[in-house]
Amino acid sequence: LGRLLKTVSHVHYPKSDPFKKQTLKAWVNKVENQAAKLKKEIEP
């Protein structure tokens, strides 16, 4: 997962495109939420 998030942080969008930035942020949040859920399932 760390590698995935690192890849995401290397994605550079033009600073003049806030919509894409919002989309990227939402996607990262989604990935982090899924990771947290998985962690809860794995760890008792």
User: Could you write out the DSSP letters of every residue in 1-44?
Assistant: -HHHHHHHHH----TT-HHHHHHHHHHHHHHHHHHHHHHHHH--
Q: Which whole-number Å values give the CA distances from 8 to 15, 16, 38, 43, 44, in the listed order?
A: 16, 18, 20, 26, 29
**Ordered per-residue pLDDT tens for the chain, 44 residues:** 566 656 555 555 556 667 777 888 888 899 899 988 888 888 77
pLDDT at position 41: 86
pLDDT at position 42: 83
**Residue 19 φ/ψ region, left for φ over 0, alpha for ψ in the -120 to 50 degree band, beta for the rest:** alpha
pLDDT at position 18: 72
pLDDT at position 16: 62
